[in-house]
Structure 1
Amino acid sequence: MRLKTTLAVAAMFLATTGLARAEGELNIFNWGNYTSPELIKKFEDTYKVKVTITDYDSNDTALAKVRQGGHGFDIAMPSQNYLPIWIEEGLVLETNPGQMENAKNMLPEWADPEFDPGRKYSVPWALGTVGVVVNTDVYKGPIDTWAVVFDPPAELQGKINIVPEMNDVIHAAIKFHGGEMCSADKTLLKQVRDTLVAAKPLWVAMEYSTIEKMVGGDFAATTDWNGSALRQRLQNPKIQFALPKEGFQLWSDNAVVLKDAKNVENAKLFLNFIMDPENAAMISAFSRYANGIKGSEAFMPEDMKTAPEVMVPADLLATADYSKTCPPEAQELYTRIWTELQK
């Protein structure tokens, strides 16, 4: 009955917005292992649109590909600290999702964010945090600190992975040394650089494939995002996530329509579609991240409603930084550190 109702409402929506000829294609460029097959099937069935998903592994990879042009993608999912760059460079289309039918479902705190005032370009896809994940069979000490990866105990040395998202790693090292987000203080950043260079020989890898390798025992600890950590714990309860006491990031990824999209009307339909609470819950149920859509909690898996990976304790919120675009001066210094770390 719900499906019939959804189809009927969809038909009415199309008829009233002049988008009745929605049949065709939609090409989505998204982070790997991040898109719910159930969500995509529902969209395809509802609008008779064939969806193709292409994966990327980092914000820098996505930005470089879209900058090149000729990619054939309609939608991408930049993180909030990168989105202003996409907007400034004219890579995204002003579709005014804040005025779409389902925009009323956005949580107030995500309806008018600093990185996209008035939601002229983007729709929230997922919300999360950056922290530390540890297999507590290997290490039984405290894990609520960046020291786990930057000054690791003997049990973890040679078994640590670092997810190579530059801004996440630099921010974590800055907080480890008591600094502030986007700092360009050269004395502080020398400490950050020295810490990272000294720690690197104690790591086994710098890669994104954390779920499989933490569960499989290839890694005993990693920096990671909370949804990934939850997926790991559900497969092995000994894998635990912690928000470091020195401070951590709160972030969001956001769906945008690309400036050179070939299927603009289908892309707009998709933005409106994912602001429906039931559909937003499908995104969360697959990726295991929270979302910015009110009412979606009614459709969320029970194991997410109290998951420690998803819930941010009130006493830790004071140490959290909302992810943002750092000034060019700071970003240039971070890039230098990162380039040296890759050698």
Structure 2
Amino acid sequence: MTIRRLPLAIKAAALAGLTLASQAHAEGTLHFANWSDYFPPELLKKFEKDTGIHATLDAYDSNETLLAKLKAGGGAYDVVVPSDSFIEIFVKEGLLQKLDKSQLPNLANLKDKFKTLSYDPGHDYTVPYLWGTTGYTYDSAKAPGGKFEESWKPFFEPPEDFKGKVVALNSVDDMWAPATYYAGVDECTEDPKEAQKVLDLMLKQKPLLAMYNSDGTIERMAAGEVWMHQQWNGAYHRAHAQRASLVYVYPKEGIRLFIDNLAIPKDATNVKEANIFLNWMMQPENIAAASNFAKYNNAITGSEKFMDKELFDDPAINTPADKLDRLKPFKLCSPKSLALRAKVWTKLKK
């Protein structure tokens, strides 16, 4: 079959078809590690059926945990899912390998706005998985008057009766950005005095928190164990399905837009299988299954045809036009700035 002279879209489809045909007879193993409760088990079974590759799935609760795991020996995993804000760190530490794009014809399926991303402009190390926002959720049945203002204020300065009923995510990345937005500090500040403002804000909040925890956010809010939780929008959607009184907030000061990514660790054992998996995940019906499970959007053209309508009907997932200017994409900060926030986090968690 000659495909060199076909139009790009048709050429990509043809290449993808050839890749799938060869995958059907593939053999081998894939060790996949992802965030907790962020990938449908049935999709992994479909991958095994489509490719003949045996796949395993491990879980972690933060980028920091993944960083520690890879530093301890990345050979245990063939594909991992780091967030946009950690890609530079992983690359500088030599923990990711460059992608062989000749093995990834489905890169042609990326939506235009995801073809060049600040943290990996040429997709040399990553391809997008799912994306969303990190805001917070509260139970309107517990809020004074049934409603809080659309601000980070209720989260960082909750009412007295919310003491012990608020949970923050256990990640410097997730906590630093909103704290800087609310404190009026540049998130890439290199000024220790500005960083102290952020630390003071979080130290003031700390005694009011039930815990710092990035696992179990859905279950905790759905069960009513806590009344407010820093949360990703997809997690909110799943919790709201079980408790209708929950509200997701787009704070007026700004809300972090995040993109999680598929990447191959430097010491991966099964690189061929990893490439097959990345390419397979960029097929519209496969990434749509991940979106439908985790309740986050994705970066693949044509996936909408396979996605649940309820995702587009939820303003937490499909951001309203009047809230779009509140979305804050990832900013690449200097090493000095990153070191400063790491010190703040260490002091906070003492």
Is residue 114 from structure 1 mapped to residue 121 from structure 2 by the alignment? no
Give 2:197's aligned amino acid.
Q
Alignment-derived partner of residue 236 in structure 2? 229
Structure-2-length-normalised TM-score: 0.90
Alignment-derived partner of residue 105 in structure 2? 101
Alignment-derived partner of residue 72 in structure 2? 68
Matches within 5 A, 1:210-289: 210-289=217-296
Match of 1:317 among 306, 318, 324: 324
Alignment-derived partner of residue 58 in structure 2? 54
Give 2:135's aligned amino acid.
G
CA offset digits 1:223-250 (Å, max 9, x no partner): 1111111111011111111111111111
The change in CA–CA distance for 1:319 and 1:181 in structure 2 (over 3 A counts) is: farther
Aligned 8 A contact 1:96 1:121 in 2: no
In the TM superposition, residue 22 of structure 1 has moved relative to its aligned partner by 2.1
CA offset digits 1:118-171 (Å, max 9, x no partner): 212211111011101001111123242111121112342220000111122111
- Larger mean CA deviation between 39-48 and 314-323 belongs to 314-323
Matches within 5 A, 1:16-95: 22-69=26-73, 71-95=75-99
In the TM superposition, residue 313 of structure 1 has moved relative to its aligned partner by 2.6
Match of 2:341 among 328, 334, 337: 334
In the TM superposition, residue 15 of structure 1 has moved relative to its aligned partner by 5.8
Aligned 8 A contact 1:105 1:276 in 2: yes
The change in CA–CA distance for 1:15 and 1:48 in structure 2 (over 3 A counts) is: closer
The change in CA–CA distance for 1:172 and 1:244 in structure 2 (over 3 A counts) is: same
Is residue 308 from structure 1 mapped to residue 322 from structure 2 by the alignment? no
Alignment-derived partner of residue 4 in structure 1? none
Aligned 8 A contact 1:80 1:324 in 2: no
Query: Partner of 2:297: helix, strand, or coil?
Result: coil
Distance 1:41 1:270 in 2: 12
Aligned 8 A contact 2:180 2:198 in 1: yes
Is residue 13 from structure 1 mapped to residue 19 from structure 2 by the alignment? yes
Would you say how many aligned residue pairs link Structure 1 and Structure 2? 334
Q: CA RMSD in A?
A: 2.0
Alignment-derived partner of residue 5 in structure 1? none
Structure-1-length-normalised TM-score: 0.92
Alignment-derived partner of residue 3 in structure 1? none
Query: Partner of 1:340: helix, strand, or coil?
Result: helix
Aligned 8 A contact 1:97 1:121 in 2: no
Query: Partner of 1:41: helix, strand, or coil?
Result: helix
- Larger mean CA deviation between 315-324 and 186-195 belongs to 315-324
Identity %: 36
The change in CA–CA distance for 1:97 and 1:329 in structure 2 (over 3 A counts) is: same
In the TM superposition, residue 82 of structure 1 has moved relative to its aligned partner by 0.6
The change in CA–CA distance for 1:147 and 1:123 in structure 2 (over 3 A counts) is: same
Aligned 8 A contact 1:96 1:119 in 2: no
Runs of 4+ in 1 over 3 A off after TM superposition: 8-12, 96-99
Distance 2:121 2:193 in 1: 34
CA offset digits 1:35-78 (Å, max 9, x no partner): 11121111000011111111000001101110121541100000
Matches within 5 A, 1:128-207: 128-139=132-143, 140-207=146-213
CA offset digits 1:67-116 (Å, max 9, x no partner): 12154110000001111221222211212448722111101111121111
Aligned 8 A contact 2:125 2:263 in 1: yes
Aligned 8 A contact 1:159 1:221 in 2: yes
In the TM superposition, residue 188 of structure 1 has moved relative to its aligned partner by 2.4
In the TM superposition, residue 324 of structure 1 has moved relative to its aligned partner by 3.3
The change in CA–CA distance for 1:216 and 1:105 in structure 2 (over 3 A counts) is: same
Aligned 8 A contact 1:97 1:122 in 2: no
Aligned 8 A contact 2:128 2:262 in 1: yes
